[in-house]
Structure 1
Amino acid sequence: MGAVGTSARRRGVPWLVLGLWIVALVAVSPFASKLADVQRDRAVDYLPASADSTQVAKIQEQLPGGEATELVVVYHRDGGLTAGDRATAAGQIERIAGEHKLTGEPRGVPSRDGTTLMYPIATTEPGTDEEARDLLVNDVRDVARGSDGLSVEVGGAGALATDASEVYNSLDGPLLYTTAAVVALLLIIIYRSPFLWLVPLAVAGMADYLSMGVAYGLNQGFGTSVSGQSSGIMTILVFGAGTDYALLLVSRYREELRRIERPYDAMVAALKGCGPAVLASSGTVAAGLLCLLAADLNSSRGMGPLGTVGVLCALVAMLTLLPAVLVLLGRRVFWPLVPRLGSTPKARRSLFTAMGSSAGRRPLTVLAGGAVLLGALALGTLNLPGNLKQEDSFTSKPDAVAAMETLAAAYPERGTQPISVITPEDRAEATLASIRDTRGVDSAQEGRTGDGWTEISVLATAAPQSAGETATIEALRDRLEGSYVGGASAEQLDLKDTNARDRLVVVPIVLLSVLLILVVLLRSLVAPLILVAAVVAVWAAALGIGGLVFEPLFGFEGTDPGLGLLSFVFLVALGVDYGIFLMHRMREECLNGAEPATAALTALRTTGGVIASAGLVLAATFAVLTNMPMLQLVELGFVIAVGVLLDTFLVRTYLVTSASVALKRKVWWPGPLSRKPEPPVPPKEPERVTVSAH
């Protein structure tokens, strides 16, 4: 009777798990489909919570009509504008003013060389509605058109926001499809099976759908911000981390099928063997990402919870749904390389056996060489280009960026992008006078008034986002006590300053939290310090490689201010992830009686192939970001992909293994494994009793 019950359980549990997943996916379906509706890519969604420019944006939303959309219509002819060109421009601007309620009368500003005429315009018609803003910008572009050598471009903060929103909205589909295609290709190569690769890929897709529903719930329940950047990173983590966990589980499951007859029992053994390491590693990644909640930058703070949702949904799927599907499909899913009961895999000298041998023979030499190499690569950070300007944020040139470039060339002697000052209504006159008296200010004009605040539009004498304009913004902030200074250029300045602040706060929290988790998991102090030092070195080297190629090879004009912090959090969390896989197996070997040096080499030989496969998949998924149209995503994807490859094929294989061989039992200090076991005491021989004859 007991055998019958056990057999029924074996058949029933996988079907039950599958049924629960179907119910869960049906339940989250209405919410997953709404995630795109709550995605916001306004300046406020990326700005620091406490910055001046954020306060300006929030108060502008409260002013009559809400936040103003500021545009600049730029007319240009290389040989100089004709009278007909000016008449065309005046007619088009008059039509725009007739169709839309502008906040002031548009006045054309000609360039000194006569080639360009710009019309700054602003309207509160869209308010805070992004869709209405985009319709407005597109309507203005439909009216403002050139011909016969007259070029017309629509720029300004509103047009740039529309172009950025269009790019972010176009990310979801291509990002998902490209990521799935890359993962599918790598799984086919790794598994060499026409069927097996479909299982983890389909499970990852379901985990991604679940994460979308959970992310929507976080947004509705706790106000967690959802941006194009954070939702894209969440998808990358679901497929990258999820596939990594699948590789580890399937590898252990295949191993167990060679010694256990029934797939259900083999899967139970596989989960017992690799489950703790997978749980520990995913928990470490989640803890590292949640440290981003300490960031002041809204975009970074929102990425922490969404990244954590992605990792945890991938974990749940790979430890429940994947095992259930594999058990139901049985051994045949591995065809043509089906693991037969009692069979042994072909013994062959692997790359990781060779690596382990060299690390085992000369561990100190390998350590020194690796440290010198990583240090040399880290010096490349000195060559990173300066902070990324707004107009350089796109890999292709949208209309708003083309307009900004035309303005910069035609008006080098003056600002063309308004600086917004919000001041208390009762101090408007004094504030306006103080602004006009500030060095670097070209002009200032009082605009909307309401809710106790007055908005003043300021133009600097220096070009947008130049050192001169930055000095003017800082001077205004020093002089105008009780007022807020914002606008596009001020936002970029606040992004840079806040990212510097966030690095000082978040980096120590990440290091401390990851270190504490590792100490608890590995029951050692030395091993966690080695892993943390290794991933920090990888981060510095990967960022250094970015410095060597971003401008000289790729032609990037700047570096995203948030690149250092985000790449640090991801590389530390994900790098430690692989370290746990290796160290967990090493500790297991030591507990089974192996000497530490032997345990280190055995762990590398047995897990090296799986870790390498997982590293390739994770690097490839982040490399997908390098094909996206936003430079911030391109740079982040490049640095993380390079860092994961360095960690997989240099640090994890050579340096950590060499350090473990060199330190021997000290690597587990002060835990019990650091002490040499007492030699077994031989049993005492029974005393011989001598019987004397009388």
Structure 2
Amino acid sequence: MTVGKTPTKGVGRRRAVPWALLGLWVAVLALVGPFAAKLADVQHDRATDYLPSSADSTQVARIQDALPGGESTEMVIVYHRDGGLSAEDRRVAAGQVGKVAAAHELVGGAPEGIPSDDGTTLMYPVVSNEPGHDEKLRDALVEDVRGIARGQDGLSVEVGGTGALGTDAGKVYDSLGGPLLYTTVAVVALLLILIYRSPVLWLVPLVVAGIADYLSMGVAYGLNQAFGTTVTGQSSGVMTILVFGAGTDYALLLVSRYREELRRIERPYEAMVAALRGCGPAVLASSGTVAAGLLCLLAADLNSSRGMGPLGTVGVLCALIAMLTLLPAVLVLLGRRVFWPLVPAYGSEPAQRRSLFAAMGDSAGRRPLTVLATGAVLLGALALGTLNLPGPVKQEDSFVTKPESVTAMETLARAYPERGTQPIDVITPADRVDRTLATIRGTRGVESAEKGRTADGWAEVSVIAKDTPQSAGETATIKSLRSQLKGSYVGGDSAEQIDLEDTNSRDIKIVVPLVLVSVLLILFVLLRSLVAPLVLVAAVVAVWGAALGIGGLVFGPVLGLKGTDPGLGLLSFVFLVALGVDYGIFLMHRMREESLAGAEPAAAALTALRSTGAVIASAGLVLAATFAVLMNMGLVQLVELGFVIAVGVLLDTFLVRTYLVTSASVALRRKMWWPGGLSREPARGAGPSEPTEPPRQPEQVGTP
């Protein structure tokens, strides 16, 4: 009787576990659902959400929030006619500005127009405290002013300034929600259909990734409420990219191993358990590497970078949990038929054919040192392209397609070539405002300075520089003001750009070593070697340099971008090192399995490449494609980040991992695993140093 009950219990367990996991996920989604819907409410893209926390410009923005009326909205209404403004044009301009002043509460009332020397342009500086720091009210104010100030009969009217620029940037960030998600889903779906060649299988990991994304939104909202984690359009968009990119990678690896086990094991439940045991450690280690690398961003002083660390980590971990619990449960419940028409029958052998990766492995195995030297020279040559990277991107060049606020600034720059058109904000103690004004007016490069609001012991001074915004002359003026005005803070748009560049330089010096150390420590533990982790990290650092170099060759000459985002170097390094090591982990983990099974080092390396080549190539294509989606967004910083990471992932997938890491493994042989047990020659007649199951024949079907 007892013997007869054992299989029944086993069958019951096999049926109960997947259903229990599904029920658990339903409960979790019901719990986090209300919070996920609120993430957009706590997403902000104000200056203080991106600025370094310790910088002058951050202090200015924070104190301005507390001044009467909160954060002011500054605009410039620009009237222009190529042949010169007529008296009627000036009358129309004055009338429209009067309507703006009547409809809204402006600081100082209706402003006076400032004509250009050539008579073609008239600008009206407009400042309002109505919106405070409410972005929706600010956007409504800007759009209302644009509705009142309209051109006619050859007279062009544009609304620019800080407030209008913020509104136009907000439109781009708002588009990151729906369009980014839909485009990412479409790209991943297309690639999965091509990879799996099944009408059903592709849908399973895609739906699971969507559920993981929903979970990550709820967790991200919880972090914001509990710890005040900064949520910006950039960080939430990258979180979605990571969920679909990394999550699909984990799914590809698991499904590939599951297909392999289904040929050896009759029941799907047992086959899935074996698949999880086989690839689970590599998936856990790879996700841990990405999470550890991203969490190093918490050491950054730049708010946008520091906030991206936790959100990116949430995305990766939610994807990991979903792919190791929900995906296996769904696949087991659907059974073998989910693979139709390429169903892996029990006891069958995979189609044996010479794969592309077998050919690559053979070429790397025959001349490993030659391959290594050639690859190193190629990556080094590509890295030289970093010398061609354009300088820091100016605010007006940060949009792919120029909005009205940018064209207004360009019109002002042409019409007022020797005059600053963008205020420099100075916050000074109220009891010394007169002395501060005198010092400012005596500073070289200052055109004018006027006292503004006062409250809570602080006074605001608006400064106009003689030089154009973000020029070398204006930068020198800002630095002079900061050096002379001790106890005061100097901010504004141009000062913010200076602080962004300075803080990114500081963050790189701190975060980069932290990322390298954390990744190496994880690899030391996983691979039980000192040499293999150093090889993998050196490889991905070389990839980062080469990808940035390709960016230098493409950004200006091909894409027409006029500047480089100051945060590109740091963010691309963190993502490429953390994500690039993923593929090295997948390869080296399989290589270690083969070595423990008794294979010689060279044979283990080539077998690992043949076994994992197709699935990791598919994973690399998916990850590169998801980051490439960022190139379709409207901000230069997203275009550049998406390009560099996508190119870096492709370089890592098809050059570094395939040729260089494999060649290094063949050349170093057992030294690759020093000082672990695999680095020692086994005694004659002795088996492998650690027990393991017999080696499998790798699938050569070419699909994960």
What TM-score does the superposition give when structure 1 sets the normalisation length? Answer: 0.98
Unaligned runs of 5+ in 1: 683-694
Instruction: Map residues 263-278 of structure 1 onto 2, 5 A cutoff.
Output: 263-278=268-283
2:676 corresponds in structure 1 to 671
Which deviations, in whole Å up to 9, do the C-alpha atoms of 1:560-597 show, x marking residues without a partner?
00000000000000000111000001111111111111
* 1:456 aligned to which of 458, 461, 466: 461
Higher mean C-alpha displacement, 105-114 vs 612-621: 105-114
Q: Which letter maps to 1:409?
A: R
1:35 corresponds in structure 2 to 39
Which deviations, in whole Å up to 9, do the C-alpha atoms of 1:529-586 show, x marking residues without a partner?
0000000000000000000010011110000000000000000000001110000011
1:102 corresponds in structure 2 to 106
Cα distance between partner residues in 1 of 2:463 and 2:686: 87
Q: Which letter maps to 1:33?
A: A
Is the partner of 2:425 in helix, strand or coil?
strand
Measure how far apart 1:102 and its partner are. Answer: 1.3
1:66 corresponds in structure 2 to 70
2:554 corresponds in structure 1 to 549
Cα distance between partner residues in 2 of 1:194 and 1:99: 59
Measure how far apart 1:613 and its partner are. Answer: 0.5
Q: Which letter maps to 2:343?
A: V
Which deviations, in whole Å up to 9, do the C-alpha atoms of 1:14-37 show, x marking residues without a partner?
111111111111111100011001
**Residue 64 (structure 2) pairs with residue 56 (structure 1):** no
**Residue 525 (structure 2) pairs with residue 558 (structure 1):** no
Which deviations, in whole Å up to 9, do the C-alpha atoms of 1:369-406 show, x marking residues without a partner?
00000000000000000100111111111110111010
1:527 corresponds in structure 2 to 532
Cα distance between partner residues in 1 of 2:268 and 2:665: 36
Instruction: Map residues 247-396 of structure 1 onto 2, 5 A cutoff.
Output: 247-396=252-401
Cα distance between partner residues in 1 of 2:614 and 2:685: 36
1:44 corresponds in structure 2 to 48
2:179 corresponds in structure 1 to 174
Measure how far apart 1:680 and its partner are. Answer: 3.0
* 2:30 aligned to which of 8, 17, 26: 26
* 1:77 aligned to which of 65, 77, 81: 81
Instruction: Map residues 464-613 of structure 1 onto 2, 5 A cutoff.
Output: 464-613=469-618
Q: Which letter maps to 2:302?
A: L
Q: Which letter maps to 1:535?
A: V
Q: Which letter maps to 1:254?
A: R
**Residue 116 (structure 2) pairs with residue 111 (structure 1):** yes
Q: Which letter maps to 1:138?
A: E
Q: Which letter maps to 1:539?
A: W
Measure how far apart 1:107 and its partner are. Answer: 1.5
Cα distance between partner residues in 1 of 2:685 and 2:98: 98
Q: Which letter maps to 1:345?
A: P
Cα distance between partner residues in 2 of 1:463 and 1:479: 21
Asked if structure 2 preserves the Cα contact closer than 8 Å seen for 1:104 and 1:121, the reply is no
Is the partner of 2:79 in helix, strand or coil?
strand
- Structure 1 pair 411–681 and aligned structure 2 pair: CA distance change class (3 A): closer
1:690 corresponds in structure 2 to none
Moved over 2 A (4+): none
Asked if structure 2 preserves the Cα contact closer than 8 Å seen for 1:203 and 1:317, the reply is yes
Which deviations, in whole Å up to 9, do the C-alpha atoms of 1:8-63 show, x marking residues without a partner?
11111111111111111111110001100110000100000000000000000111
Cα distance between partner residues in 1 of 2:686 and 2:639: 63
Higher mean C-alpha displacement, 163-172 vs 544-553: 163-172
1:688 corresponds in structure 2 to none
Unaligned runs of 5+ in 2: 688-704
Cα distance between partner residues in 2 of 1:313 and 1:8: 29
Cα distance between partner residues in 1 of 2:312 and 2:245: 12
Is the partner of 2:463 in helix, strand or coil?
strand
Cα distance between partner residues in 2 of 1:277 and 1:303: 25
Q: Which letter maps to 1:441?
A: V
Which deviations, in whole Å up to 9, do the C-alpha atoms of 1:171-210 show, x marking residues without a partner?
1101001000000000001001011000000000000000
Cα distance between partner residues in 2 of 1:656 and 1:242: 24
* 2:198 aligned to which of 193, 198, 204: 193
Asked if structure 2 preserves the Cα contact closer than 8 Å seen for 1:35 and 1:215, the reply is yes
* 2:169 aligned to which of 164, 171, 184: 164
RMSD: 0.8
Q: Which letter maps to 2:78?
A: V
Measure how far apart 1:681 and its partner are. Answer: 7.8
- Structure 1 pair 681–405 and aligned structure 2 pair: CA distance change class (3 A): closer
Which deviations, in whole Å up to 9, do the C-alpha atoms of 1:652-671 show, x marking residues without a partner?
00000000100111001111
2:251 corresponds in structure 1 to 246
1:421 corresponds in structure 2 to 426
